[in-house]
Amino acid sequence: MSLLQHLSTTISSSSSAFLVHSNFNSRTKNVSLQAKRNSIFKCVAAVPKESQTAYKTNVSRNGNLAKLQAGYLFPEIARRRAAHLLKYPDAQVISLGIGDTTEPIPEVITSAMRKRSQELSTLEGYSGYGAEQGEKSLRAAIASTFYTNLGIEDDDIFVSDGAKCDISRLQVVFGADVTMAVQDPSYPAYVDSSVIMGQTGQFRKDVLKFESIEYMKCTPENGFFPDLSGVCRTDIIFFCSPNNPTGAAATREQLTQLVKFAKDNGSIIVYDSAYAMYMSEDNPRSIFEIPGAKEVAIETSSFSKYAGFTGVRLGWTVVPKELLFSDGFPVAKDFSRIVCTCFNGASNIAQAGGLACLSPEGLKAMHEVIGFYKENTDIIVETFNSLGFNVYGGKNAPYVWVHFPGQSSWDVFSEILEKTHVVTTPGSGFGPAGEGFVRVSAFGYRSNILEACKRFKQLYK
């Protein structure tokens, strides 16, 4: 391994803030890594001369990034998977970790992307910069498909390259001077983007939380819906339903409570509905089904898990024009400014794919793919149930949340990986209340799901 490769590995392999739980001495580790790098700079002959001097600029590192200490959760899991493969080169590793889609995209959708690609080679079909907010036809199709009769209009929809990207753009809109709440556990992008924007204090290793973030505990005891009477007022409330990672979907009554809570406090809800189409039960698919939500909520969603667009990159965010900052300024106007200045619209080819997704044939095809993953979910749920585990989620989301009471979820993750070659996600990676759980993703080939479940049965019989 060359020095440059070594440095590159170092760059991509830092551990997540939440990982600190299993790496209590990460500070020491970082120090020794630094020492290791310095010593390499001094002793490896192949290093270019300019590197040996280790010139440093006078630009201070952004203190907010330093707070993270740490890498994003999923790259860390990818790193551990890679390390496992190095250790067991012949292992048949099955990945039920990151939640990456595996089923091919239905032809009706890819044929639209092929067609759009081809048209880009013609004078009539060529298109350059589009509206930063997305193509009109797609905005209209999203509004009419997902927000029928909810009073959401085409121009409330902002098309994007994915919900994760929009979460960061929303944080840029909010800036450093807001406070925020998250479900605990929750998708790590909410907390990490908040830290990056400077909304938080330091990470407190004693409680495994960042200062100034309100963690709303979601556990089996409260049915994975926070006890709002114990939640402090914040400016922003991130809320994901069906939830990643717990798989819990909030009921109409719970969301009515949430909207009332936001309204009483003058807070803005950022509602992540990226798994809404996975719901089996009759819970709201959108926060805008709750009366009055347009005045207090933003909703972000994505084609990633509906159409297998994790690599194609297409999502959207709804910012109703009724949503106003305290001075009366429309949030949508600032979001549009950020979209125009920091983004240039989603790929036109991906947008053509998105439009095909929302045709009658596309919707049918998406439902079929979703149905396939839901069958996977049932298989995983049944497996862990049969082994006597308490299992949550699964019914309304492609994630199964398995309880290992009293155990460290990183230990469980490691044991499962070591003994079954199956990659899962440790619950504590999503926040301290995820400790003792492991998230099993239902995204995978059927044969892999069956094989993984067979191995789980061998391990836990």
- CA 10 to CA 114: how far, in whole Å? 39
Among 252, 333, 419, 454, contact with a second copy (rule: CB under 8 A) = 333
Asked if 49 interacts with a second copy (CB under 8 A), we say no
According to CB under 8 A, which residues from 273 to 312 bind a second copy?
292, 294-296, 308, 310-312
Asked if 322 interacts with a second copy (CB under 8 A), we say yes
Q: How far is the CB of 289 from a second copy (least distance, A)?
A: 15
Question: How much helix, strand and coil, in percent to the nearest 5, is found in the chain?
Answer: 50, 15, 40
Q: Residues 6 or more apart from 434 whose CB is under 8 A from it?
A: 184, 185, 245, 409, 426, 427, 428
Q: Which part of the chain contacts a second copy (CB under 8 A), choosing from 50-58, 383-391, 393-401, 410-418?
A: 50-58
Q: How far is the CB of 373 from a second copy (least distance, A)?
A: 12
Q: How far is the CB of 400 from a second copy (least distance, A)?
A: 19
Q: How far is the CB of 159 from a second copy (least distance, A)?
A: 12
Give just the sign of the alpha carbon dihedral 215, 218, 222, 227. Answer: positive
Among 77, 240, 274, 350, contact with a second copy (rule: CB under 8 A) = 350
Phi, psi of 213 (to 5 degrees): -105, 135
Q: Which part of the chain contacts a second copy (CB under 8 A), choosing from 43-51, 380-388, 432-440, 453-461?
A: 43-51
According to CB under 8 A, which residues from 83 to 102 bind a second copy?
98, 100-102
The answer to whether residues 236 and 325 touch, using CB atoms and an 8 Å cutoff, is no
User: Which is closer to a second copy, CB of 102 or CB of 257?
Assistant: 102
- CA 453 to CA 94: how far, in whole Å? 11
According to CB under 8 A, which residues from 238 to 267 bind a second copy?
263, 265-267
Q: How far is the CB of 118 from a second copy (least distance, A)?
A: 6
Among 26, 77, 132, 186, contact with a second copy (rule: CB under 8 A) = 132
Helices 446-460 and 360-386: crossing angle, nearest 10°?
Answer: 10
Tell me, rounded to whole angstroms, the distance of Cα 267 from its chain centroid: 22
User: Which is closer to a second copy, CB of 129 or CB of 461?
Assistant: 129
Asked if 105 interacts with a second copy (CB under 8 A), we say yes
- CA 322 to CA 334: how far, in whole Å? 13
According to CB under 8 A, which residues from 57 to 86 bind a second copy?
57-66, 68, 71-72, 74-75
Only one residue has tokens 């994505």, namely 302
The answer to whether residues 86 and 78 touch, using CB atoms and an 8 Å cutoff, is no
According to CB under 8 A, which residues from 218 to 237 bind a second copy?
235-236
Pairing of the two strands 236-240 and 268-272: parallel
Among 81, 84, 114, 205, contact with a second copy (rule: CB under 8 A) = 114
The 146-165 site mask, x for binding a second copy (CB under 8 A), equals -----x-x-x-----xx-xx
Tell me, rounded to whole angstroms, the distance of Cα 154 from its chain centroid: 25
